[in-house]
Amino acid sequence: MSQLLNFFVLPETLAISRLSPEKDIPDWSVQSDFFCVTRTREELSIVCPESSLPPGASAERGWIALKLAGPFPFTLTGVLAAFIQPLAEAKIGIFAISTFDTDYVLIKRENVDAAIAALVGAGHEKVESQD
């Protein structure tokens, strides 16, 4: 049986930007409470609030983050799979970010209602507040 999870919908609209791997990490990308910067040999990937982007920045806009209520021990398997399976079945694309304690699944803003319906239909619970 797959795991049933609680999740929160974060309020801020996010953007995903791709820069050349040799670029410095721009100051604008790390000026908020939620951001993610990943550098590989192929790219510098930045997730940050749309409002942090400088004018004319190239980015995929309109993402909303669903935060899984963690923390999850590293020995626990299948957490992310249990959460994204209903989204895959509903044909909703995702962008996943994992931290030490939890996972975030980004979905396009226009898919929020369908994503919540798919997740709740699979037994996951949308929680209104982290408090």
pTM of the model: 0.88
pLDDT tens digit string along 95-108?
Answer: 999 998 889 999 99
Q: What is the C-alpha to C-alpha distance for residues 24 and 22, in angstroms, rounded to an integer? A: 7
Q: What is the DSSP letter of 54?
A: P
pLDDT tens digit string along 4-56?
Answer: 889 999 999 999 999 989 999 999 999 889 999 999 999 999 999 999 998 88
Mean pLDDT in the chain?
A: 90
Helix segments in the chain, DSSP class H: 79-89, 112-121
At residue 13, the pLDDT reads 96
Q: Nearest to residue 12, comparing CAs of 118, 125, 104, 127?
A: 104
At residue 110, the pLDDT reads 97
E-strand ranges in 1-131 read 6-19, 36-39, 44-49, 60-68, 95-98, 103-108, 125-126
Structure tokens at 79: 């957490």
CB distance 43 to 21 below 8 Å: yes
Structure tokens at 114: 């369908």
The domains found in the chain, sorted by start residue, are 6-126 (3.30.2130.10)
Q: Is the pLDDT of residue 129 over 70?
A: no
Q: Is the pLDDT of residue 74 over 80?
A: no
